[in-house]
Amino acid sequence: MERARFILGDERAIQAVNSFWSLIQQTRKKLKSKQNLVSIVESLIEEIELYQDIWSSSASEQAAAYSWSHVENFLDGLRAYCQSSSAPTLYDYLNQISLNELELDTDNKRGNLVTLSTLHGAKGLEFPIVFLVGLEEGLLPHDRVINPHETDVGSGDLSEELRLCYVGVTRAKDELVLTRAAQRMVRGKLQPRAPSRFISEIKTPCLQIEDRTKTLSPSQARNRLAQIRAMLSEQ
């Protein structure tokens, strides 16, 4: 910080950097104290005016509400963590919720269990069988990329979405299952779903397409449910 004036020159920039540095130092002291962790984080959110920033920078009220809901979910998770931990720390909580810190079992020491992961969290990992779900327009590629003008994203990058799809596909060592829904419940109504444009990028004779959108009869549905229960009871 001693070199800030020499590097920046502009007085307003120096004041902004000093305020930011002061905020960091104050927050560090609070986190090292015995103060309530949730109160510290709530105070920090209020001090940096995160709520006002989200609502002023979002393209619409819907986008702002969606962004703010992530903050509220973070705080709800933090409250639950503090209630269950004898010595809660922000560092430990962030480690718990970070997909990059998950100890994914790659040695099968835990048996035939299912590992759930995002595409980002699965980078660098491999599994014998991979189910890549939700290959639909609006999910992969995401709607915020397809329609950036309707969200708070400045521009859409389809190439990045394609790279994410590639990450998911290449996680499978032996078998890959791609799934999509013909319909999804959106805001209380069933909406038809279009297949992801990335499916057409797969050029391989190994690709087998199976249509399971046909409605099952009551007896077929009962048999299917019985099969699932039997599979689960084996674990």
- Range 62-76 average pLDDT: 87
Same domain, 148 and 198: yes
Residues 79 and 26 in one domain: no
Residues 137 and 206 both lie in one domain: yes
Name the amino acid, one letter, at 99.
L
22 & 41 share domain:
no
Q: Give the number of residues written for the chain.
A: 235
Same domain, 149 and 201: yes
Euclidean distance between CA atoms 18 and 12, whole angstroms: 10
Average predicted confidence (pLDDT) for the chain: 80
pLDDT of 112: 66
User: Number of folded domains in the chain?
Assistant: 3
Measure Cα distances from 3 to 18, 58, 115, 232 in Å: 11, 35, 48, 62
The answer as to whether 10 is a domain residue is yes
Same domain, 55 and 119: no
Q: At what angle do helices 37-47 and 11-32 cross, to 10 degrees?
A: 170
pTM of the complete model: 0.47
pLDDT for res 64: 84
Residues 130 and 176 sit within 8 Å (Cβ to Cβ): yes
Residue 231 covered by a domain: no
Whether 26 and 47 map to the same domain: the answer is: no
User: Three-class SS of residue 186?
Assistant: strand
Chain Cα centroid distance, residue 199: 22
Domain boundary residue, one of 67, 97, 127:
97
108 lies in some domain: no
Model confidence band, residue 96 (pLDDT cutoffs 50, 70, 90): confident
Tell me which long-range contacts 65-71 makes (C-beta under 8 A, separation of at least 24): 67/152, 71/45
Q: Is 162 exposed, middle or buried (0-12, 13-18, 19+ CB in 10 A)?
A: middle
Q: How far apart are CA 82 and CA 65, in angstroms?
A: 26
Query: Do 75 and 26 share a structural domain?
Result: no
- The answer on 155 and 80 residing in a single domain is no
226 lies in some domain: no
Q: Which residue has the higher pLDDT, 148 or 8?
A: 148
| Residue pLDDT, tens place only, 12-39 | 777 877 888 888 888 888 888 878 899 9
Residues 56 and 85 in one domain: yes
106 band by pLDDT with thresholds 50, 70 and 90: very low
The mean pLDDT of 196-203, rounded to a whole number, is 84
CB atoms within 10 A of CB 127: 20
Strand-strand pairing, 172-178 and 127-132? parallel
